[in-house]
A and B are shown apart, each in its own frame.
Chain A
Amino acid sequence: MILPALRCPPLILSLSKGHKSAVFAFLSFFLSLLVVFTSPASADEAALRAIIAKFAAAQNFKATEAVVQELAATSDPAVERPLAALAEGDLYFRKSDSAVFIGKEAGQAIKLADPLTSAEAGEEPKAAVTKIKVNNALRRSIRDALGGLTLGSPDANARIAAADTMFKTPVAANVEALDAAIAKETIGSVKLKLEQARASSVLVSDLPEDEKLAAIDVIAGIGSRDALSLLTGYETGAEGALKDAASAAVASMNSTLALWASAQNVWYGLSLGSVLLLAAIGLAITFGVMGVINMAHGEMVMLGAYTTFIVQNIIRTSFPGLFDWSLAIALPLAFLVSGAVGLAIERGIIRFLYGRPLETLLATWGVSLILQQAVRSIFGPTNREVGNPSWMSGAFDIGELSVTWNRLWILAFSLAVFFLLLFVMKRTSWGLQMRAVTANRRMASSMGIRTPWVDALTFALGSGIAGIAGVALSQIDNVSPNLGQGYIIDSFMVVVFGGVGNLWGTLVGAFSLGVLNKFLEPYAGAVLGKILVLVLIILFIQKRPRGLFALKGRAVEA
């Protein structure tokens, strides 16, 4: 629970991946607009061209904006192309005849295209054309203008996007256009968006008070952060009944949003908990069931992560089509690699130290140093790149909750591993033997169970599970030789907190520590929150030295 929070970068990275895809969607949406809207015949193409030509004469941003407004006022879908090009900074005019074109840089030259039809219009050297300059204010008004234009788009998604844009940047003038669009709209969800956009526009218009009150109701019903900031902004300037209504709406929205924020915290906490569970679950076997203190447990996780790296490397170079399967291929391999190393450690070192827990701790710490240095010597000390398969990239929203796919998969995966392990322990004969050996070794041995093998395989199982945890953690953490070190203290804390020898305790321990951590963070900051959790656990161990779900009895107290 300590490092995952310190290592915010992976989380930030995955969030920014989400943003990237949003930007990408936005762009592709515009591109599709361009494709869709080439055909409708213009009412008066010549008139449009005349207005477009004015861009060449505009001396400053203000003048350019006036031209933009004039184009927007035509309500002709054809003006989208030149406006979009202008926003992108791709609109030029030729110095020789002031003709306006859409230009694309091609080396030293600019390829020109007709602003309305995008038919090719030859090439000019850079020096022969002038770019029509835009600034952010201008881009905004272009965006607004485009939003207004797309209200009439036949594509429902385009209409929704337009309505959203209008909602965020309300202009009184939009009310009319929106009324018209609402009257025409047949799809319920789009109509709702349009009405919301209308409501935000109504607020800034000079329509009568009861209209505005209704608008406040509509906006309050949305409940999003955008709606809140809109109403908060409105509240400061409003008066009388309007101000009261806005204040009430803001207050109720705030409490709803606080609920969402808590839900987001719970989600982050569960996500952190799943990471802790993955890291600790192998330890719950080796430490919890066998009583072996394996300080090299973190390195087993690291080996799993490096196995993923190697698998992805081979796939990248030899079978690029299999990339989405890389994790599925890495899972069994990581289990085998870490399990084999675990087996070797048990047979080579640990079995000589049974009954001497503190010496086991020291010897396995030595092993962890050796494994770290070995990986450092082979792969270098720096982070290695492990990619996310496509099905683990991106994010989606539930209400005001943003959920990234990789975190969701890891949560599901950690639970799957947990229940699989529970099944192995409780329902298979191997699990029965394991439990028999830990309950009464001599008895188990005399019943014909080969206890040394059960020991070795149990340890290998715990290590192998650490390996597959490494596969999952490679998706959200830096794959470096130090990967494991960060998890070792956390894992022990989870197992000790949950109660040694109790798998359910590990589950509850991991998730409660994860959630606790994420709820402390906003108040104390990430590092201090971490420290607080550590201190709380230390205090908790004082109170219940054997964890949340400890066994009681004479034997335990002896």
Chain B
Amino acid sequence: MISGKFFAAGSDRRIFVAIVLLVAAAIVVPVLNVAVPAGSAFHVPPYMVALVGKYLCYALLALSLDLVWGYCGILSLGHGAFFALGGYAMGMYLMRQIGSRGVYGNPDLPDFMVFLNWKELPWFWYGFDQFWFAALMVMLVPGLLALVFGWFAFRSRVTGVYLSIITQAMTYALLLAFFRNDMGFGGNNGLTDFKDILGFNVQANATRSALFAASAIALALGVFVTWLIVSSKFGKLLIAVRNAESRTRFLGWRAENVKLFAFTVSAVMAGIAGALYVPQVGIINPGEFDPGNSIEVVVWTAVGGRGTIVGPIIGALLVNAGKSWFTGALPELWLFALGGLFVAVTLFLPKGIVGLWDQWRDARAQRQVSVAAEAGTDIDPTPPKIGRAQSGAPTGEWAKPSGGPEPQPAE
């Protein structure tokens, strides 16, 4: 049944294409980078591999936000925190791998601890010399935070903007905490100067290509898992909770558990994205917790189109490519562009690029139907698709009240 749906037309085909493209990129790009000589027209330069690899991690982060925002209506302004926690877990592993090659040559303690005169490794750094342990923590720590935070928030029915604001406060609190030296995570400077990952030099071309491939595969897996979730009965439930949370309760569903599951899965995905990101950029510091970062993720998702799975990926790639170009060419103007993008997307592109594309295609199909009807040809007059409710106009909280937009006092 899954496979049948998987190769079906429409949005499901879009998922399939996305996964194929990502897997292809995971194979082709490293080959073009490592095996093709530098002079060749087909050579992919290393900086490009690193840059796009970074974008893929952002895309996975945006996808994780899409699961909670697009499908469940939870606008998290703190997803950057899960990303950063995953990144820190990976960073701790990479720090432990430096061993005695640090500036101070201490085999056990990372440089910053020696610098702070610490005598022994804090307990929470134990185990991070093992990759499997770090990999587990990459998922466990963000997942656990999401579980605890979500349990409190959803159980007491904090919704809408209130939830958004407390998620922002959460990442802000973590930002403050990680800036402290005595937290034991390198304070202001964070974790950096990495040497090896799994015994390979992080700076080496081949390692970077492998990390790129890993990011592309992780993103492909993320797409697949998200698609599995949203196309199951649980996915229908998610959308039901988004549109009419209290109605689901009267049907006997525990809306808080539905949200909690989605939030936790999403946080784990964000953590994995962060873990893949850190070895590719070579640093993780408290700046990743900045509320501004989290809210930027929201705009990637909005630009691409929330609730569409591929939309956030397109959005993350486009906006970050734009950012790279702007900060190189017109650094002064980047924040104007980003700010303008926020305004423009919310005002003119509420469904994002993918939503716009769907609208255009539906409209064209409608036109063809009517043209065909006039011409007397026999074309199946049913509207193009019915199974794709999720990318249709989201209602409930998002719906404009009848009679035009009007302010409503906050609940």
Contacts of B339 in A (CB 8 A): 365-370, 373
Q: How far is the CB of B316 from chain A (nearest CB, A)?
A: 16
Counted as pairs of residues, one from A and one from B, with CB atoms less than 8 Å apart, the total is 162
- B250 touches A (CB below 8 Å): no
Among A360, A362, A376, A542, the residue within 8 A (CB) of B299 is A362
Q: Which of A12-20, A228-236, A408-416, A523-531 contacts B (4 or more CB under 8 A)?
A: A523-531
Among A354, A363, A366, A489, the residue within 8 A (CB) of B408 is A354
- A226 touches B (CB below 8 Å): no
Interface residue range, chain A: 35 or more
Given contacts A289-B409, A535-B173, contact A541 B156 (CB under 8 A): yes
Whether A352 pairs with B347 at a CB distance below 8 angstroms is yes
- A292 touches B (CB below 8 Å): yes
- A72 touches B (CB below 8 Å): no
Q: Mark B158-186, 1 if CB is under 8 A from A, else 0.
A: 10111011101110110011011000000
Whether B407 pairs with A531 at a CB distance below 8 angstroms is no
Of all chain A residues, the one with the shortest Cβ separation from B179 is A527
A388–B148 CA distance with the chains assembled, in angstroms: 47
Whether A366 pairs with B343 at a CB distance below 8 angstroms is yes
Q: Which of B24-32, B209-217, B394-402 contacts A (4 or more CB under 8 A)?
A: B394-402
Q: Is the interface of A mostly helix, strand, loop or mixed?
A: helix
Q: Which of A78-86, A264-272, A470-478, A492-500 contacts B (4 or more CB under 8 A)?
A: A492-500
Among A366, A373, A441, the residue within 8 A (CB) of B341 is A366
- A556 touches B (CB below 8 Å): yes
Whether B405 pairs with A362 at a CB distance below 8 angstroms is no
- A115 touches B (CB below 8 Å): no
Whether A362 pairs with B176 at a CB distance below 8 angstroms is no
- A534 touches B (CB below 8 Å): yes
Contacts of A432 in B (CB 8 A): none
Contacts of B332 in A (CB 8 A): 373, 377
A449–B176 CA distance with the chains assembled, in angstroms: 47
Whether A366 pairs with B338 at a CB distance below 8 angstroms is yes
Contacts of B153 in A (CB 8 A): 538, 541-542
Residues B67-102 near A (CB distance < 8 A) = 75
Residues A335-377 near B (CB distance < 8 A) = 349, 351-363, 365-370, 372-374, 376-377
- A251 touches B (CB below 8 Å): no
Most chain A CB within a 10 A radius of its CB, from B335, B338, B341 = B335
B contact residues, total (Cβ < 8 Å)? 54
Residues A405-450 near B (CB distance < 8 A) = 438, 441-442
Whether A538 pairs with B176 at a CB distance below 8 angstroms is no
Of all chain B residues, the one with the shortest Cβ separation from A359 is B346
Whether A355 pairs with B401 at a CB distance below 8 angstroms is yes
Contacts of A365 in B (CB 8 A): 295, 339, 342
Among A2, A363, A492, A542, the residue within 8 A (CB) of B152 is A542
Q: How far is the CB of B240 from chain A (nearest CB, A)?
A: 18
Contacts of A369 in B (CB 8 A): 335-336, 338-339, 342
Residues B337-380 near A (CB distance < 8 A) = 338-343, 345-347, 350
Given contacts A353-B346, A377-B332, A489-B169, contact A542 B158 (CB under 8 A): yes
- A291 touches B (CB below 8 Å): yes
Given contacts A363-B347, A373-B336, A531-B176, contact A353 B405 (CB under 8 A): yes
- B41 touches A (CB below 8 Å): no
- B120 touches A (CB below 8 Å): no
Contacts of A500 in B (CB 8 A): 409-411
A176–B410 CA distance with the chains assembled, in angstroms: 75
- A546 touches B (CB below 8 Å): yes
- B218 touches A (CB below 8 Å): no
Whether B156 pairs with A543 at a CB distance below 8 angstroms is yes
Whether B342 pairs with A363 at a CB distance below 8 angstroms is yes
Among A353, A368, A489, A542, the residue within 8 A (CB) of B156 is A542
Whether A501 pairs with B410 at a CB distance below 8 angstroms is yes
A368–B336 CA distance with the chains assembled, in angstroms: 10
- B247 touches A (CB below 8 Å): no
Residues A471-527 near B (CB distance < 8 A) = 489, 492-493, 496, 500-501, 527
- B302 touches A (CB below 8 Å): yes
Given contacts A291-B409, A542-B152, A556-B411, contact A357 B161 (CB under 8 A): yes
Q: How far is the CB of B327 from chain A (nearest CB, A)?
A: 13
Among A358, A361, A442, A545, the residue within 8 A (CB) of B157 is A545
- B298 touches A (CB below 8 Å): yes
Whether B410 pairs with A349 at a CB distance below 8 angstroms is no
- B249 touches A (CB below 8 Å): no
- A34 touches B (CB below 8 Å): no
Whether A366 pairs with B340 at a CB distance below 8 angstroms is yes
Given contacts A362-B342, A542-B152, contact A531 B409 (CB under 8 A): no
Q: How far is the CB of B30 from chain A (nearest CB, A)?
A: 36
- A455 touches B (CB below 8 Å): yes
- B388 touches A (CB below 8 Å): no
- A539 touches B (CB below 8 Å): yes
Of all chain B residues, the one with the shortest Cβ separation from A550 is B411
Whether A358 pairs with B338 at a CB distance below 8 angstroms is no
Among B164, B173, B336, B407, the residue within 8 A (CB) of A361 is B164
Among B164, B166, B347, B409, the residue within 8 A (CB) of A353 is B347
Of all chain A residues, the one with the shortest Cβ separation from B341 is A366
Whether A534 pairs with B169 at a CB distance below 8 angstroms is yes
A183–B92 CA distance with the chains assembled, in angstroms: 75
Contacts of A366 in B (CB 8 A): 299, 338-343, 346
Contacts of A489 in B (CB 8 A): 165, 168-169, 172, 291
Whether A538 pairs with B335 at a CB distance below 8 angstroms is no
A534–B167 CA distance with the chains assembled, in angstroms: 11
Given contacts A362-B346, A534-B169, contact A291 B407 (CB under 8 A): yes
Most chain B CB within a 10 A radius of its CB, from A289, A376, A455, A545 = A545
A359–B306 CA distance with the chains assembled, in angstroms: 12
Whether A291 pairs with B298 at a CB distance below 8 angstroms is no
A493–B168 CA distance with the chains assembled, in angstroms: 11
Contacts of B302 in A (CB 8 A): 362
Residues B105-149 near A (CB distance < 8 A) = 149
Whether B176 pairs with A527 at a CB distance below 8 angstroms is yes
Among B164, B169, B340, the residue within 8 A (CB) of A537 is B169
Q: How far is the CB of A530 from chain B (nearest CB, A)?
A: 6
Contacts of A290 in B (CB 8 A): 407, 409
Contacts of B176 in A (CB 8 A): 2, 6, 527, 530-531
Whether A359 pairs with B350 at a CB distance below 8 angstroms is yes
Q: How far is the CB of B148 from chain A (nearest CB, A)?
A: 11
Q: Mark A255-296, 1 if CB is under 8 A from B, else 0.
A: 000000000000000000000000000000001111111000
Contacts of A363 in B (CB 8 A): 342-343, 346-347
Q: How far is the CB of B27 from chain A (nearest CB, A)?
A: 37
Given contacts A363-B343, A489-B172, A496-B162, contact A370 B411 (CB under 8 A): no
Whether A372 pairs with B335 at a CB distance below 8 angstroms is yes
Most chain A CB within a 10 A radius of its CB, from B75, B302, B400, B410 = B410
Most chain B CB within a 10 A radius of its CB, from A287, A374, A455, A527 = A527
Among B173, B180, B400, the residue within 8 A (CB) of A534 is B173
Contacts of B158 in A (CB 8 A): 541-542, 545
Most chain B CB within a 10 A radius of its CB, from A290, A355, A438, A543 = A355
27 A–B contacts, CB within 8 A, in A order: A2-B172, A289-B409, A290-B407, A291-B410, A349-B347, A351-B405, A352-B347, A353-B346, A356-B398, A357-B397, A358-B160, A358-B161, A358-B164, A359-B346, A359-B398, A362-B295, A362-B299, A366-B342, A369-B342, A372-B335, A373-B335, A376-B335, A442-B403, A489-B169, A492-B165, A537-B169, A556-B411
Given A359-B346, A538-B149, 20 more pairs with CB closer than 8 A? A2-B176, A354-B405, A354-B407, A354-B408, A358-B75, A358-B397, A362-B302, A365-B339, A366-B339, A370-B336, A370-B343, A377-B332, A441-B406, A489-B291, A496-B162, A528-B177, A537-B169, A541-B156, A545-B157, A556-B411
The 10 closest A-B pairs by CB, nearest first: A366-B342, A369-B339, A370-B339, A373-B335, A354-B405, A542-B156, A291-B410, A366-B339, A363-B346, A534-B173
